[in-house]
């Protein structure tokens, strides 16, 4: 199990190399790196400028939930390795927030599992986000479109 919740940045290349190191049965690694945007996600008409994003979480609870998400992705696809790194604390536009990676013998499983992993992290991982905007700080609300994205996986439950 490779789950880390940390304030520190991470080296994507080093993390992906370590994920498959020594396992020649891995045929593909699919990954996603989430970054802090300089604009909030608006209602379709654009968003507000964002100067920083602060992520909060409850240690212990967060890691348990990420472990449950990892168990779910492993139950659905034949994976050789899974990596979840999620940062917390105050981050600036362009900073890395999350790295999700799935390694499998075949690319289809790696791609699908990684997509699922990000949809599940977005809707089930217990992180609270606060944006700093010109109008002050505000908490980021859950987005209906994220729930819709996760719905397709709920309909395909194992």
Q: How do strand 127-133 and strand 52-57 relate by DSSP bridges?
A: antiparallel
CB 113 within 8 A of CB 73: yes
Q: What is the pLDDT of residues 89-105, one digit of tens each?
A: 999 999 999 999 999 99
The band of 118, judged by pLDDT with boundaries at 50, 70 and 90, is very high
pLDDT, mean of residues 96-124: 96
Q: What is the CATH class of 2-146?
A: alpha beta
pTM above threshold 0.75: yes
Which helix (H) or strand (E) covers residue 77, if one does? none
Measured from the Cβ of residue 40, the count of other Cβ atoms closer than 10 Å reads 16
> What's the CA gap between 114 and 101, in Å, rounded?
6
Q: Which residues contact 92 (CB under 8 A, 6 or more apart)?
A: 36, 51, 52, 53
Share of the chain above pLDDT 70, in %: 94
């Amino acid at each position: 199990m490779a789950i880390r919740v940390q304030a520190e940045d991470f080296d994507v290349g080093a993390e992906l190399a370590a994920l498959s190191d020594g396992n020649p049965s891995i045929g593909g690694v699919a990954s996603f790196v989430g970054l802090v945007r300089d604009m909030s996600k608006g209602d379709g008409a654009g968003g507000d400028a964002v100067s920083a994003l602060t992520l909060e979480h409850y240690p212990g609870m967060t890691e348990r939930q990420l472990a449950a998400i990892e168990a779910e992705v492993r139950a659905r696809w034949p994976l050789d390795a899974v990596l979840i790194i999620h940062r917390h604390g105050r981050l600036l536009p362009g900073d890395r927030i999350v790295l999700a990676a799935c390694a499998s013998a075949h690319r289809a499983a790696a791609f699908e599992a990684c997509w699922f992993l990000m949809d599940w992290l977005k809707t089930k991982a217990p992180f609270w986000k606060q944006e700093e905007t010109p109008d002050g700080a505000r908490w980021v609300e859950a987005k209906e479109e994220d729930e819709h994205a996760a719905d397709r996986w709920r309909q395909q439950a194992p």
